[in-house]
Structure 1
Amino acid sequence: MSVFACSKSSDSKEDSNPLIGTYRLEKTGTNHYEKGKIVKRDISTEKINGEMTLLADKSFRIVFVADGESEVAIGTYNSVNQTFTIQQGGDFKKTSYFFEDNYLVLITEDNGDSKDVGYFKKK
């Protein structure tokens, strides 16, 4: 599974949770790290359509469509620790996210010195 990022809207209204809303997957790729810092980014040319919805009850749903196949992931998020707990196919996986250049970047797979990510932008 690849990591995805979302962008945080700069004009979001002041409410208790500015993360609430729908995000569109803009791009995917792999970030390479050395000593905890990103040293290289490989952006994928593969076209994946994705949409993530974050709800007020701290739950979320992500729908991905690639090559005519769709995949749905659901779970919960923690905005304090910046983590997602994803349930997919009966398994639970904890992952993290961060914000970069108006994107919410979701880490989909952690391979040590490289992390697959998805970049999501708020609609």
Structure 2
Amino acid sequence: MNHPPITCICGCGNTGENWRRRLLKACYQRHLRAGTLHQFPRANRSRWYAPRAGRIEDYFDLLRFGVPRQHIPDRLGITNRTLHRYERDLRVLAHYVIHLAATSQHAEQAAA
């Protein structure tokens, strides 16, 4: 996929293909070696994660409504590998929610 050329944001004024962080490849490598990449923040990826979060929610809803697990990939238009990733993400989220609830409950007891 060809993307339009960018002007490197490091200040060199060169144009070319975006390598990472809106930097050209040579500039990215130069700043990586110099340890100065922190000056160039990563792109906001939320626009890519939002549709995925919606599909994970759809997966969870299908499970809740009793759709057999083997039918879910076809219903959502995903592969079995992606289904496994969704399951992993839900396990991690469940673990985080349980930990958060336990931590806030402990904090409330300590405050009382």
The bucket for the TM-score relative to the shorter chain is under 0.3
Greater Rg by CA: 2
TM superposition score normalised by structure 1: 0.20
Specify which structure has the higher proportion of helix.
Answer: 2
Using the size of structure 2 for normalisation, the TM-score is: 0.21
